[in-house]
């Protein structure tokens, strides 16, 4: 029997289509219609099933949550969550006196508070889609929404963790993110065993406790590629019972268990305009401008330095000057001396011949005498400065001990599955044309002990900066 393949454009059945309706969820695979219940549109058994299905599809994405101190979402307990941490007891080096009871000790408990916030999203169906679609769209929507919820909640925790102050740039070879190198013939700052060893040393010196006998690490696949070629790398089957593996675990090295996720933080520097990634300097000299606010509104006062630039390598003009340039960090590369300097754009306006004048908070270029600023060569380039050298992507690899951070659990009201059936909106849906399925979550995450977590920032042999 020859198979028949049919493609459906679900947009043809959008929620704005006006058609007749029925009262039920169509299960086209079985040819049946499941009646709506009076409460919430689904029977209690179906509501439980879909709620569990949503949570099951959300949890695999919560890589950044699995190593934190968990706190159940309280009901009627306000919007503030408290995570507790205890200070270690001091050493007692004085000998006891015979027959004398020593002074008792007290536990010193610290409390870290953070505020709960709600997040959520939904998908809307038309009655025509529910009547005619072959697939069980409620199941598919719940699966996709579960993935969306998981990635959203994971990102919220990730951003909190990556805001920590305990940072290591490569093998401690450079002092700042914008100096990290990738893609060069030599001197690249990729993730190495030495990077991991240095992070482990930091955690040990802070007496950070291990998690199930090892420190935990969240790593991006691009960095895992650079690291796993080391002969000391161990894969999970070489050291652990598969049942005890973390979600996403890929191996162990130097007493650290690694969990891989494409959601690991990547610091990406956006292009300087919507057409070009970088600016090319024009080979002319200009004087430092003081009290620039009098020259062009909004630049502020004080000494500012300007440079005339053209866009990209083709010499094409800019067109309009984008306002989003102001406040952005940049990296200036002096090709003749192969030197790099960092500054912030404080103003920009269109100049003659489709070029721009870019104003900086400091003198960037070599050869200046007094207030004279000399652009040394036409090949000098200005790159976006939010990531690595020349705008190269920078990856965050998190190595952590126990109780480094806290996060809320999904159970107990943390994540809800919400179904609104056709007609449930009353007079707002007079013809029973729209149904929705969605999720809503209450979430909080906070760093508890900065010293118990190290963020290693490196480049990678893979370059995603131009993507």
| pLDDT one-digit tens code per residue, 133-172 | 555 777 888 888 989 999 999 999 999 999 999 999 999 9
Sign of the torsion angle spanned by Cα atoms 284, 285, 290, 295: negative
> Would you give the distance in Å from CA 362 to the centre of its chain?
31
Q: Using one digit for the tens of pLDDT, what is the confidence trace for 12-25?
A: 333 433 322 333 33
Of 234, 248, 188, residue with least CA distance to 63: 248
Q: SS3 of 85, please?
A: strand
Please tell us whether the domain made up of 168-266+396-401+449-458 is placed in CATH 3.30.2320: yes
pLDDT of residue 406: 92
pTM > 0.75: yes
Average predicted confidence (pLDDT) for the chain: 79
Number of Cβ within 10 Å of residue 218's Cβ equals: 26
Q: Which helix (H) or strand (E) holds 155?
A: helix 137-161
Q: Using one digit for the tens of pLDDT, what is the confidence trace for 169-215?
A: 999 989 999 999 999 999 999 999 999 999 999 999 999 999 999 99
- Would you say 149 and 118 are in contact if contact means Cβ atoms under 8 Å apart? no
Q: How far apart are CA 5 and CA 74, in angstroms?
A: 50
The arithmetic mean of pLDDT across residues 390-413, rounded, is 89
- Higher-scoring residue by pLDDT: 264, 415: 264
Find the length of the chain: 467
Percent of the chain residues topping a pLDDT of 70:
74
| Confidence band, pLDDT 50/70/90 cuts, at residue 277 | confident
Place of tokens 């690490």: 217
- Would you say 67 and 448 are in contact if contact means Cβ atoms under 8 Å apart? no
- Would you say 144 and 138 are in contact if contact means Cβ atoms under 8 Å apart? no
Q: How far apart are CA 347 and CA 360, in angstroms?
A: 7
Q: SS3 of 139, please?
A: helix
Domain edges within the chain: 10-86+110-162+407-437, 168-266+396-401+449-458, 279-385
């Amino acid at each position: 029997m020859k198979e028949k393949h049919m493609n459906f454009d679900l947009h043809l059945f959008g929620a704005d289509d006006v058609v007749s309706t029925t009262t039920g969820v169509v299960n086209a695979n079985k040819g049946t219609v499941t009646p709506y219940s009076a409460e919430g549109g689904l029977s209690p058994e179906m509501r439980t099933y879909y709620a569990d299905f949503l949570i099951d599809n959300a949890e695999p994405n919560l890589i950044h949550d699995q190593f934190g101190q968990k706190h159940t979402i309280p009901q009627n307990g306000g919007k503030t969550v408290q995570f507790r941490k205890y200070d270690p007891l001091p050493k007692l080096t004085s000998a006891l006196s015979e027959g004398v009871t020593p002074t008792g000790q007290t536990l010193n408990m610290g409390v870290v508070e953070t505020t709960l916030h709600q997040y959520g999203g939904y998908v809307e169906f038309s009655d025509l889609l529910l009547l005619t679609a072959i697939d069980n769209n409620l199941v598919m929507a719940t699966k996709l929404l579960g993935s969306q919820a998981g990635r959203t909640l994971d990102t919220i925790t990730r951003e909190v963790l990556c805001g920590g102050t305990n940072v290591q740039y490569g093998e401690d070879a450079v002092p700042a993110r914008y100096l990290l190198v990738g893609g060069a013939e030599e001197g690249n700052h990729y993730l190495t065993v030495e990077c991991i060893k240095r992070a482990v040393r930091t955690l040990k010196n802070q007496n950070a406790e291990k998690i199930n006998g090892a420190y935990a690490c969240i790593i991006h696949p691009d960095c895992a590629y650079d690291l796993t070629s080391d002969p000391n790398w161990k894969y999970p089957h070489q050291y652990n019972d598969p049942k005890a593996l973390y979600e996403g675990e890929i191996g162990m090295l130097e007493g650290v268990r690694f969990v891989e996720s494409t959601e690991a933080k990547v610091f990406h520097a956006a292009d300087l305009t919507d057409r070009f990634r970088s600016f090319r300097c024009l080979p002319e000299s200009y004087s430092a401008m003081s009290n620039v606010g009098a020259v062009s509104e909004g630049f502020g006062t004080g000494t500012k330095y300007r440079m005339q630039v053209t866009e990209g390598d083709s010499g094409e003009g800019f067109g309009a000057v984008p306002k989003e340039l102001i406040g952005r960090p940049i990296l200036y590369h002096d090709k003749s001396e192969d030197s790099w300097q960092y500054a912030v754009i404080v103003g920009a306006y269109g100049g003659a011949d489709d070029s721009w004048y870019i104003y900086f908070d400091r003198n960037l270029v070599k050869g200046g005498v007094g207030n004279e600023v000399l652009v040394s060569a036409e090949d000098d380039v200005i790159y976006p400065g939010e990531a690595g050298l020349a705008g190269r992507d920078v990856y965050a690899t998190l190595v952590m001990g126990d109780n480094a951070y806290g996060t809320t659990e999904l159970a107990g009201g943390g994540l809800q599955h919400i179904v609104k059936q056709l007609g449930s909106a009353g007079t707002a849906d007079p013809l029973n044309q729209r149904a929705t399925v969605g999720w809503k979550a209450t979430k909080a995450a906070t760093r508890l002990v900065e010293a118990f977590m190290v963020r290693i920032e490196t480049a990678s042999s893979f370059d995603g900066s131009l993507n």
